[in-house]
Amino acid sequence: MPPNPAQLSETNKPTQVTAASFWKRFFAWVYDLLGALGIFILALAVGLLVLRIVTLPWVDNFSSVSAAVSNNIFWWVYLFLSVQYYYVWCWVKGGQTVGMKTWRLQLYKADGRLLNWKEAYIRSFLSFAGLGNIWCLFDEENRGWHDFVFDTRVVELPKNYYKKQKQKPLI
């Protein structure tokens, strides 16, 4: 888990962070779409594989099963929740998605804590697939609609933040 920027550094000075701008949030969102697409494709492949295994004894033509599933609301809910889980897990475990880490952004509540599972799911639903970030253009504190509910902040970390924390790179 990435360290909390509100923690004191080795020199006993708090780390200075600023509110993330709309454009930083936007570029992190675009970057995260690639990860979300990967999760979507993985969920799609796993779901179709499970359906194929389950229906194998009874169905000779799998295309009819595939067509029936594509019109089922539960199938689309499964795919949506699979992609949503990527964001929620990242926010709960470290306050950052891959795109947020790339752009040095981190999500915190106003008191410096990370979101819990319930808060992260609700925030995810209220973001309307990231469209809630448009409100950052009008808010003085650069917060989206979904940030108001749990009093969360997306902050931009300083350039040398990870070097000071002596964190190893992801790869």
Could you tell me the pTM of the whole model? 0.80
Q: How far is CA 51 from the centre of its chain?
A: 28
Residues paired with 14 in a beta bridge: 8
Q: Where are the domains of the chain?
A: 18-164
Sign of CA pseudo-dihedral 120, 90, 156, 34: negative
Provide the residue type at 31 as one letter. Answer: Y
pLDDT, tens only, 49-65: 888 888 877 777 777 77
- Taking only the tens place, the pLDDT of each residue in 73-118 is 999 999 999 999 999 999 999 999 999 999 999 999 999 899 999 9
* Alpha-carbon distance values, 58 to 12, 65, 120, 136, 170 (Å): 67, 11, 41, 53, 45
